[in-house]
Structures are given as C-alpha cells and as structure tokens.
Chain A
C-alpha cells in the first residue's frame, strides 16, 4: 500500500503518456489532455506546499525573534497583500495586481538581476583565473563573445579579431602539450610549438581575413560552442531517457523518499 501503490500509479501514468505517443487518435489525445490537466491540478497543490514552507520559515523567524526578523513581516505582508489583490481582482490590466507587477515586481526583478553585472565579472576572475590552458580558452572565448556583442568590438578590431582568437588558441595548445612535445622532439620543441601557434593563425587569416568581431562571435557561437553544447545535450538526452525508463519501471525510487512501509 505504501510503496507498491505509488509504483503502480507511476507505471500506469508513465505508460499511458508513453504509449499514447504511438497511437495518434482522438481518444488518446483526450486522455493525454485530461492527464495533463490532472498534473496541473496536482502541481497547483504542490506550489501551495512550497509556499507554505516559505511562510513557515518566516513565521518561525518572527516567533523566535531571530536576527532581522522584522524583514520577515515585509515578506509576509507583501505576500498576503499581493495574493489578495491577485486572486480577488484578477491579473489583467487595469487591476491592482497588474500595478504591483508593473511597478514593484518587474523593476525589482530586473534590478536584482542587473546587480549581478557588477559581481559576475569579479567572481569569474576569482573563480577561473587563467591558471591552466583550459581556463584560458574559456576566458578568451568569453572575452571575444562579449566584445562581439557590442559595437566597440567591431571598432577595436574590424578585421581579424578571429585571428587573435586563433593565435590565443594556438598558444594554449602549445601550453598544454609542451611537456609531451619536449619529450618527443627534444631540441626542436620550441620550433614545433611555434608551428602549432602559427598554423591556426595562418588558417584563420586565410579563411576569415575580413572577419569582424560580431562575425567572429557568430562563428564561435555556431561552430565550436554548438559542438560543446551538443555533446552535453546528447548526453543529457540519453541520461533523461534512461532515468525516465527507470522511474516508469519502478527501478528508480528515490522520489518516493524514505519513511519505510510496504
């Protein structure tokens, strides 16, 4: 009852959604639509559960008079007032909730996230200082993407920012493989290293002579970045399918939590 029934519910719900995909029919579409509505209803209750957790935290803070408990009143009052206005008077303009959304929520949201502009650069510097070739490549790519997104990038390097990126890439390759080079080429290592640096620059120069910063960024975003992201996406997709199958078949039971029972 405590474990077998949830596993059965999970199996039936999962199999219906899975099998439905292979049976495109009016009734299977209706069944899917109804089950999705059920999920939205259950999800609404789950949201209430999450909100109640937030409210309990603040009520507890006030009850125990913890440090800065006065601000918890602000959270609770703001929540109650906005909830009453939103549920009572609707969301569409001109409603009191729309006023709160436009003049309180939207400015706070945008400003809070824009605040990160000040901290993200310094945090990044501290986190991935160019200690390794990999970190250097990451920083350089970030730098070129940022330069390519603003007009000043094209003004600084109207022709050949890509060449600079290729030179840096060659330098990082030599940095990474130099011990191996020295082991295998002995005295010739510096010359081989130089060749590794020059090669991407020459290729870049011949292929993208008239490349502007914004075009370089577009290329960076559409070729090497996509390659990296696609590898991650394919891995995540395969993992997601495997995990979903494990959940439907009841092999994966972590979401059922502890508590025992049978």
Chain B
C-alpha cells in the first residue's frame, strides 16, 4: 500500500506526505488569517517562518561552504580532489573568525580585516563584470540603426522602436545628470526622462502585482485541488 492510499475501511495510512500536506494546509490558512486581523495563529506562523528561514540559510551554507571548503580539506582530505590536506584554508577560516571580534569592544577593529577582504574581492570582481554584463551590452543594444532594412525594404516600425529606445535612454541619463541645472532643452529632456522612468516603474509594479497574484492562484489551487487529492483520493 502506498503512503496516503485509501484503504477499504476509509482510514488513511498516515505518511510523511499526508502529515506534511496537513501541516502545509494549516500553515497556509494561518497566514491567510491575517486578512481578517493580526492574531496569535498568524504570529505563530510568522515566527515559525523566520526560524525555519534562518535555519535554511545555515544548513545550505554548512553543506555548500563549511563542509567542502573547511572541514573536508582539513579533516577529511580523502573527500577532496587532491586527496591531500590543504592547510591554507586556515587563513580564510581565521579571517572569518575575526568577524566575531565585533562582540568585544577592545578588539572590534580586527573585524575590519575580513570585511576589507570581502569588499576588495567584491569590488575587484564588480568592475569587469559590470563592464561585460551591464555597460557594454546595454550600450550596444541602444545604438541600433534608426532606418533598418528588412528583406531589402525599410522596416519603419523597428526604426521607430529604436528611436524611442535611444531618446528614452538619453533622456533618462540626462535626468540623472545633476552637474547641470535642468532648464531649457536640458529641462525638457529631463522631464521626458521622468516619463520613461514612470513607464518603467509602472510596468515593474504591474509585473510585481501579477507575480503575487500568481502565487495566490498557486496557493488556492493547492487548497482546492492538491489537498483533496491527497486526503480523499479517488477509489481504485
């Protein structure tokens, strides 16, 4: 008999998925109870979420970073590709431990070393990555032909779109340029820039709302279809 399968007596074989689905239903309803008012059931679910989320981060970090990068190279070298102990990982481990000096006022300056290391790595990575992934591709995509040809004929619609893109990007950049007073032609361009920004923010907002609605539909489908299927499966 499969877990959760109905038996002749109408009783169910309690299993991980069945209990889990019951827990998921209760927690889903507990969160939605907030729509009526803030209440103890919602607060319980909220605090549970905080605790489990934090533990999720710790567990993932332990298995993805601590285990393969510190414990295996130092104490279980047979699990590493080289098979040899790698004692130099003690250096970043010590740097990491220096973070905890923040708890001691006298030695809190030591926490600057690991922070400086992280900032240096991040800044060094950011420059080429930003140029490669943000700056150049977006500049290239903005500088498109204003009179493109398609199959030997002028593609007017694409040309208008390309012109709009160019005007929009330039105007938005002008809006963010504060070294010159936004007056005259510069002011008009800045105003047009605001309009393009508003369209972008509006589209972003619309997308966010739809993403939340999709999640809501997902939860309602879970309660409406998945739950009855697990608790009241069709008779064989």
Contact = CB atoms under 8 A, between A and B. Distances in A.
B117 interface: yes
A71 B76 CA distance: 40
Nearest to A87: B62
Contacts of A72: 47
A103 interface: yes
A114 interface: yes
Contacts of B196: 224, 227-228, 231
B117 A71 contact: no
Interface residues of B, number: 114
Majority SS of interface residues in chain A?
helix
> Which 6 A-B pairs give the minimum distances between C-beta atoms?
A227-B168, A231-B172, A17-B124, A86-B59, A228-B200, A78-B51
B165 to A, nearest CB: 5
A110 B218 contact: yes
A141 B199 CA distance: 6
30 contacts: A9-B120, A37-B89, A39-B118, A39-B121, A41-B95, A42-B96, A42-B117, A42-B118, A45-B93, A68-B43, A75-B51, A79-B52, A87-B58, A103-B20, A106-B24, A107-B24, A108-B48, A112-B31, A117-B212, A137-B195, A142-B209, A220-B203, A223-B164, A223-B168, A227-B167, A228-B168, A234-B135, A234-B139, A244-B126, A261-B109
Contacts of A139: 202
Interface string A118-143: 10110010000000001101111111
A227 B203 contact: no
Interface stretch (B5-13, B97-105, B146-154): B97-105
A160 B142 CA distance: 28
Contacts of A162: none
A14 B120 contact: yes
